[in-house]
Structure 1
Amino acid sequence: MAATMPALFVGHGNPLNALYTNSYTRGWEKIGRSLRRPSAILSISAHWYIPRCAVMANAAPRTIHDFGGFPQELYDVHYPAPGSPGLAERVKELLAPVSAELDESWGLDHGTWSVLKHLFPDASIPVVQLSIDERQPAPFHYALGKRLLPLRDEGVLLLGSGNLVHNLHSYAWGEGGGKPYEWAARFEERVRELLVAGDDPQLVSYEELGRDAMLSVPTPDHYLPLLYVLGARKEKDRITFPVEGVDGGSVSMLAVRMG
């Protein structure tokens, strides 16, 4: 029987973290060393945010460089992990009656590979991505996370990749990046408190948490991966925060481990 895997949300931040050695990437490396080797990885990335529910079914997914204006060295990075059509079929089965389309047009976007490059640098573990259906409200995504819970007992690592706070309009560019904005720090702290308290309804209804939430989550794409991981939480899971920090004042790099 496969070992039960934790569920993990990672703040991925700047794509250049794929190349950097810093406190965030060292934290990801440490998480990878602490985990039992998963049988496969199901990633829910902020960067596959489309008007449908789709599961990547490629046997050999390509590395997608879904950004512009970065050094050539970043475009030269490839993460040649295999896919898993079998896991894709299993995800489709678990999500029913929600219709999940098997998709071979996508690959691994930077929300996935920039993190996995540090978590599992040998790129030998099969990886599948699940899209985020942009048409659906937050409770829908939380409910899908609940349906994915059995995968954890099948040895699959559930990885949500986004950022708890993600406001690029307020980002402080330049070396050092500035201190966290007060609203960003307050929102992150509030979410941490709710996670520890097990208050899922307020985390799902994050838009009701006031102005700090509106500034921290101006668009839902980077927050929603957290709800998939939250939905897959087990009652006795211990919540830890293995990576902390705020980049540029307005991008939370917080990682949340459940189990």
Structure 2
Amino acid sequence: MSLLNENPMPAIFFGHGSPGNILEDNTATRMWQQLGKELPKPKGIICVSAHWYTSNTAITSMESPKTIHDFGGFPKAMYEMQYPAPGSLELASKLSVILAEENAQLDSTWGFDHGTWCVLAKVFPKADVPVVQLSINNTKDMAFHFRVGQKLAELRKQGYWVIGSGNIVHNLGVMDWNKRNMTFNWAQRFGDYIRDAVSTNTPENVINYLDFGAEAKMSVPHPDHFIPLLYVLGARLTDDDCRFETTYAEYGSLDMTSIIFN
């Protein structure tokens, strides 16, 4: 019996924005909720989050991952929230085989950071889909992350979602906290450049995003939130439709764009 599905599962990049979205009913969170209703439910999820940024390639491997409250200055209720989705030793094992050349290691110390659970708590609020996180190896170049994503594409054919959680533009240092519904011009230009690269299926422009110049460095002062997009682009399949959601920025420099391949 073949393990492949006739209809592969989606690959999704979530512009996750502020952890505080978990307490809100807004355009982005309503879209996340809608995806959970309209897209086929997977047997598991592989998630690359901006917030597991390490010096190796690691895979969460435990039956009951902990909920990590890796943020500060938010309401007490957020620190009391739990996302009790199960892990998947089976999926972790599959990943370790697929990523053997990358020397991927099973990890029992991490869990679900807010890049994962603050989104999935909206998508699958019952926490009934197993989730495995894959770390971002910060010793590698951009092309490496895209190539790993290409290897993950096979799991879409076996019933798994591949998701990345970050932001195309993520510059907290220059955000204007008094103007939530506003985009800086340079952030708009860089966001448009990346969205165009995705829509025209030219991933090399995303991999080499710094070629865009000074506005790329303003938009991505640190690569942790940008890199998850490369995994999702790598997992893109030839026949995928591509759609963009919530293509706006908040506070000037926090791009909320989400991208769905299906």
SS of 1:151 mapped into structure 2: helix
CA RMSD, Structure 1 to Structure 2 (Å): 1.0
1:133 alignment partner AA: N
Aligned to 1:221: 224
Q: Distance in 2 between matches of 1:33 and 1:224?
A: 27
| 8 Å CA contact retained: 2:63, 2:89 | yes
Aligned to 2:148: 144
Aligned to 1:163: 167
Aligned to 1:89: 93
| 8 Å CA contact retained: 1:32, 1:120 | yes
1:53 alignment partner AA: T
Give 1:57 deviation, angstroms. 0.3
Percent of aligned positions that are identical = 43
Q: CA offsets, 1:184-239, max 9 Å, x none?
A: 00011111111111111111111111122111111110000000000011112111
Aligned counterpart for 1:232 among listed residues 232, 235, 245? 235
Aligned counterpart for 1:102 among listed residues 95, 102, 106? 106
| 8 Å CA contact retained: 1:31, 1:242 | no
| 8 Å CA contact retained: 2:170, 2:219 | yes
In the TM superposition, what are the counterparts of 1:1-259 in structure 2 within 5 Å? Answer: 2=5, 3-174=7-178, 176-259=179-262
Q: Distance in 2 between matches of 1:218 and 1:114?
A: 23
Q: Distance in 2 between matches of 1:33 and 1:178?
A: 27
| 8 Å CA contact retained: 2:220, 2:226 | yes
Q: Distance in 2 between matches of 1:64 and 1:108?
A: 6
Q: CA offsets, 1:148-192, max 9 Å, x none?
A: 111000110001000000000111113x42520000000111111
Report the number of matched residues: 258
| 8 Å CA contact retained: 1:56, 1:104 | yes
Give 1:243 deviation, angstroms. 2.5
Give 1:32 deviation, angstroms. 1.2
Task: Give runs of ≥4 in structure 1 deviating > 6 Å.
Answer: none
TM-score w.r.t. the length of structure 2 is: 0.96
